[in-house]
Structure 1
Amino acid sequence: MDEQQQQALDVVVRLLAGREHSRHELQQKLLQRGFTSSDASAAISRAAERGWQSDTRYAEMWVRHCLQKGHGASKVRAAAQQRGIARELIDEALQQADPDWDDACYRRLLKRFGQQPPLEPKQRDKMIRHLLSQGFTYGQIKQALERQSAAQSD
């Protein structure tokens, strides 16, 4: 390992000390710091060989983070793709987490709009748009709105 690769590895170690990073994120950050693509790749590969960097571990962390924020499956996948995480890794992490999407959608609805069901179509449309933007499906949204109405009438 030459001096440039060692310096790149030192940067990788510092970055990973703060939080998990995907291979893609590390590559981008090293390139921004002026390292060559080959030096960056070598340093990241060395970190992965030693178990310091793992896209699988990053995907699991990312899914937990997104679920805590109340995101639906499509938003989790889209955000992961932007971060360079392979779709298979995200799908595997989502399968392991096995979230209750209907309940997650309902909790997001209550967090944003409270327990009061929409009184007019405009308000209902606003709720639907928000939940769609958070990555939930129409089926999940419909179920959450029905659950909200049922809870209010009890």
Structure 2
Amino acid sequence: MTDNDDKIIADTLSRLQSKREHSRHELLNKLLARGLDASRCLKKVEEYSQSGWQCDERFAESLLRNRLRKGQGELRIRAELKEHQISDEIVSRVVSEQQVDWFELAKQTLHKKFGEKPAENWLEKQKRHRFLQYRGFNYEHIRYAEEQQ
């Protein structure tokens, strides 16, 4: 590896971060997938993180806002952040700062998918329940959304 490799790593990191926020874990995986030296990649990602170019908290906030717009629930969002190896402390802080009404979000998500018409039978009710469960809402949120329809 040469200084040119460091430049390639730095350019790649800059290009990736200019498009959207990335987690440290995600940046490292993308660099390694390009066949770059692991130790140099880890060092550069750490430098980017310490200089403020990359921030796991900013990434978590961005991902949370994006997933809320898509109508996804807390459980699914937390699981996705965990896949990106975001610490539980950051996840909890970001989720609590956003002050999301998960009950209303579940209701809006159900309404957007199925309209105002309530479920006609047990099978339809189960279909709606599974839909919200897949979206990451817990039982209380799902029950509230179903009762409000």
Structure-2-length-normalised TM-score:
0.94
**Aligned residue in 2 for 1:33:** 34
Aligned residue pairs total 148
**Aligned residue in 1 for 2:110:** 109
In 2, the alpha carbon distance for the partners of 1:88 and 1:60 equals: 13
Q: Say yes or no: does 1:45 pair with 2:46.
A: yes
CA distances 1:58-102 after superposition (whole Å, capped 9, x unpaired): 011111111111111100011112223222212111011010000
Q: Say yes or no: does 1:136 pair with 2:137.
A: yes
One-letter amino acid of the structure 2 residue matched with residue 142 of structure 1 = R
One-letter amino acid of the structure 2 residue matched with residue 29 of structure 1 = K
Between 44-53 and 90-99, the greater mean CA deviation after superposition: 44-53
One-letter amino acid of the structure 1 residue matched with residue 7 of structure 2 = Q
One-letter amino acid of the structure 1 residue matched with residue 76 of structure 2 = K
One-letter amino acid of the structure 2 residue matched with residue 102 of structure 1 = F
Structure 1 alignment gaps of length 5 or more? 149-154
* Cα drift, residue 5 of structure 1: 2.5
In 2, the alpha carbon distance for the partners of 1:59 and 1:46 equals: 19
Between 120-129 and 137-146, the greater mean CA deviation after superposition: 137-146
One-letter amino acid of the structure 2 residue matched with residue 139 of structure 1 = E
In 2, the alpha carbon distance for the partners of 1:43 and 1:11 equals: 11
Query: Residue 21 of structure 1: SS of its match in structure 2?
Result: coil
Between 102-111 and 136-145, the greater mean CA deviation after superposition: 136-145
In 2, the alpha carbon distance for the partners of 1:112 and 1:90 equals: 28
* Cα drift, residue 42 of structure 1: 1.1
One-letter amino acid of the structure 1 residue matched with residue 46 of structure 2 = S
Please show how residues 3-152 of structure 1 align to structure 2 within 5 Å.
3-148=4-149
In 2, the alpha carbon distance for the partners of 1:93 and 1:71 equals: 15
Between 88-97 and 114-123, the greater mean CA deviation after superposition: 88-97
Contact kept? 1:105, 1:144, Cα under 8 Å: yes
In 1, the alpha carbon distance for the partners of 2:70 and 2:54 equals: 24
In 1, the alpha carbon distance for the partners of 2:20 and 2:47 equals: 18
> Percent of counterpart pairs with the same letter?
34
Between 1-10 and 74-83, the greater mean CA deviation after superposition: 1-10
* Cα drift, residue 36 of structure 1: 1.5
What do you get for the CA RMSD once the two structures are aligned? 1.3
